[in-house]
Structure 1
Amino acid sequence: MTPIRPAIAAALLLAAAAAPAAGFFDDFDGTGGAGPAWETATWHNGPPFGCGFAYSEVWKDAGRMVLNVNAGTGRCGEIRTVQKFTYGKFTVRLKASDFAGGNTSFFLYTGDAGTASHHEIDIELIKGGTVLHTNVWKAGVQHYRQFPIAAGWQTLGFEWREDSVRWFAVDAQGGETTLRRQAIAVSTPMQLMLNHWRGDDGADALSFLGRWSGGGGPAYYDWVKVE
């Protein structure tokens, strides 16, 4: 057998590292917590988050994942996949909360926020679920755009490729409308995350989410898919 030259071997390793991860689907059937494919957050991120993540605010109900903001206890919900992904098409059907100062999200994440290790691709529904915030962070630097969006159930997603990220909406017939395309190269594997939280009414939270109204309640996720 002909030996593989070092340069060829390095290229093969690079190609393997950049290959898309296996697909993923969860329709959140059953009862109880998030399930074995997910980790549930049990910590407080600090500013601009105005609540701490807890098991008590994550549960399944009628085939949906519920992530709750509990205005009375100061607790909220976040889950992330055990699996990491590199490239792919990420789609969610969700219904954001409608109270002021809240955030309902679907995103990829890795690293320490604001540092060179921080990479992230975001869908966040803010301002009572009427604004879609799209963002990609590379090495702690963000590139965002916002769009008005109707309240209620939405099917949204992003397609992460080697050289770009494309955000899209899906209509009732399954047709896609591209909302935005950002030329950017991000290749670090990331976990898929869902969270629902409120701002702390500090300066960063006020500029991003607006003032928290004192409200709370659930955000719903019908299904998530990676392909």
Structure 2
Amino acid sequence: MLGPAGALLLAALASLPAIPARAQNIETAPSFVDDFTSFNRERWYVSDGWMNGSHQNCTWSKGQVSVSDGVLSLGFEKQKTKDREFACGEIQTKQRFGYGTYEARMKTDTGPGLNAAFFSYIGPSDKQPWDEIDFEILTKDTSKVQVNAYIDGKGKNEKLVEVPGGTDKAFNDYAFVWEKDSLRWYVNGQLVNTITDPAKLPSHAQKIFFSFWGSDTMKSWMGAFADPGRKLSLQVERVAFTALGEPCQFPESLACTIKQLGTSN
């Protein structure tokens, strides 16, 4: 039987605002590694003939997606469509993925007003809340990459981190580890950012994306766009997903060298 103190405690707890439950079990597609010896159309959907909004100065085009000599290339070049002066490339997985290690090895071009991105996303187009985990290279400054996360459409978790040697000089390894209680970003195996606040952790399975696009209007973030005068590209040598607790997918994988159960390194 509760005494007066216990009754007061229960009353106080009852008066606290409810904290939304965060999903602890997220279904996921199986682990995989893709080294782009060929283009797996069962895995990847190619964006074609549309754009994400008025901020984008290019139209997604399947002609800007190619695979050669074990490298996926997403292009950006002058190519007039009915709506835009440029064409650009994007691919996304057909399946959705949950907790685990997401990795990509990639190299960018350089130029203001452009965004080369490796990220996971789910949102209204899939009749889901907007959750997203990002690596975005604003190629106006190839010495850095921006990491970020959106939770139910709310961002403001961005951080700029150094990429030693630059994103355009050589291939670099980008990875994030998404667990129930943390989200961590790595560049070339080095931890660069961590989020542990439950309110800032995604709770919905997401698709994996690569995209390379430009904007005339987002100048304060991406820089003032200038016609590069040539075809530019985002190149990807490898992408992998390793589900939480499963064996790593290739010898150099971050999942081989870190503990995935709640540790930061």
Q: Tell me whether 1:186 sits opposite 2:202 in the alignment.
A: yes
Match 1:56 to one of 50, 63, 83? 63
Match 1:133 to one of 143, 146, 149? 146
Q: Tell me whether 1:89 sits opposite 2:89 in the alignment.
A: no
**Alpha-carbon distance change, 218 to 34 in structure 1, aligned in 2, over 3 angstroms:** farther
Contact 2:106 2:235 in 1 (8 A): yes
Q: CA deviation at 1:111?
A: 0.6
**Alpha-carbon distance change, 67 to 177 in structure 1, aligned in 2, over 3 angstroms:** same
Match 2:181 to one of 159, 163, 169? 163
Q: Distance in 2 between matches of 1:140 and 1:68?
A: 28
SS at match of 2:96: strand
Q: Distance in 2 between matches of 1:38 and 1:60?
A: 12
Post-superposition CA distance 1:144-185 (Å, at most 9, x none): 111232233211110111122100012xxxxx2100001233
Quote the residue 2:233 is aligned against: 218
Q: Distance in 2 between matches of 1:34 and 1:78?
A: 14
Q: Distance in 2 between matches of 1:35 and 1:125?
A: 26
Paired residues in the alignment total 202
Amino acid at match of 1:219: L
Match 2:46 to one of 34, 40, 56? 40
Contact 1:168 1:180 in 2 (8 A): yes
Contact 1:163 1:186 in 2 (8 A): no
Structure 2 segments unaligned to the other structure (5+ residues):
1-22, 81-85, 243-265
Measured on the aligned residues, the alpha-carbon RMSD in Å equals 2.0
TM score, norm. by length of structure 2:
0.71
Q: CA deviation at 1:134?
A: 0.4
SS at match of 2:110: coil
Deviating beyond 3 angstroms after TM superposition, the runs of 4 or more aligned structure 1 residues are: none
Q: Distance in 1 between matches of 2:32 and 2:114?
A: 27
SS at match of 2:78: coil
Contact 1:116 1:140 in 2 (8 A): no
Post-superposition CA distance 1:163-221 (Å, at most 9, x none): 22100012xxxxx210000123322010000001111x21xx11221111211411100
TM score, norm. by length of structure 1:
0.82
Q: Distance in 2 between matches of 1:24 and 1:100?
A: 34
SS at match of 1:22: coil
Q: Distance in 2 between matches of 1:197 and 1:128?
A: 15
Highest Rg: 1 or 2?
A: 2
Match 1:196 to one of 192, 209, 212? 212
Structure 1 segments unaligned to the other structure (5+ residues):
1-13, 171-175
